[in-house]
Structure 1
Amino acid sequence: MKSSNRLLIQDKYFVPYLSEQQMQQRVQELGQQIATDYADKKPLLLCILNGSFVFAADLARSMDIVCQVSFLKYSSYVKDKSSNTAKDLLGIQGLNEDLINRHLIIVEDIVDTGNTMNQLLKELSSHKPASIEIATCLFKPSALKFNISLKYIGFSIPNDFVIGYGLDYDDYGRHLSGIYIADENQN
């Protein structure tokens, strides 16, 4: 339900933050950068479900290189709050690809506290890949609790709750083509 530029999802209002055009332009830039960095390396994109599916699809299509795409499923949010742990719902054991000596790029929708990435990096490292990098659509630097290197960042944003472009609030809002931020004026 829309009221002017405000959007009601469940019991919260959201307002536009990053447009579809801004998202597409930045994803194209990231894809070109990754294609340059990984020319002839045939990277494996490990996309974290559910939130990264839109970003991952657009990113993979923007990369003019040979690569593979696979999916892992982790959950660290309950409604609009990040938990202190990442729950492995469909993890590394479910992969068909061999990770030894592979160039891995973790594709994430958002990195805030870093709990999921910290856990996943430890798990992936034990499989002896050639390299591991992270490509995240959104990054909340003020929320980060771990020393994690993010090589490919779409946008750095404030520590506010956002939806759209694959990100959700209570499983709603993933379909939005841009990023919306929680409206502090909830009335």
Structure 2
Amino acid sequence: MTFLQSRPIRLTAAAAALVAATGVLTAPSAAAATPVQRTYTDPADPGAAYDIRSLTLRSAPAANTRAKVVVKHARRVRVGDATDVWVNLDADRAPDLHITAYSFSEYAVFRARSFTRDGRDISDRDCARVSMAGRRTVVRLLPDCLGPSRRYAVSVRTSRDDRPPRAVDWAPARRAFTGKVWSYQPA
């Protein structure tokens, strides 16, 4: 064993400052990695009552306009189908909004405390609008409804009222958020 192999390498403060200044070991910024649209494909789940096939998030085109979440399903919507969308509008990992939609156009919007607890019903604030038609559920949301929001992510669950709880489908995964997209497209 040589001298260099037996001794750990230590960076001096000056060498560490040089590495940091040149950006050799730094990761790209979150802003550079944040897109204006993300699409997730979900594998077929034969046990799911209302199977999710893809999920697309799009930034709002400008301030005071709505961002869009499109959920594509394996079949057309029927009476009894339900879609729940949890939205994370800030930097933490907890949901801020819970949008629950039932069969075509009935929906409610809640402040979310977690994936299992809702807060106050804020449907009257027009934070989100939902339509379920054909093989799609479309959620249009105002990202700044609860305060300034630079980026957002979602978690989606679908179910049927006449099927057992094990027949639900989640995208991208159970109680997990997608990657974030810009709330509003950058200028």
Please indicate, yes or no, whether the TM-score normalized by the shorter chain is above 0.5.
Answer: no
**Rg larger for:** 2
TM-score normalized with structure 2 length: 0.29
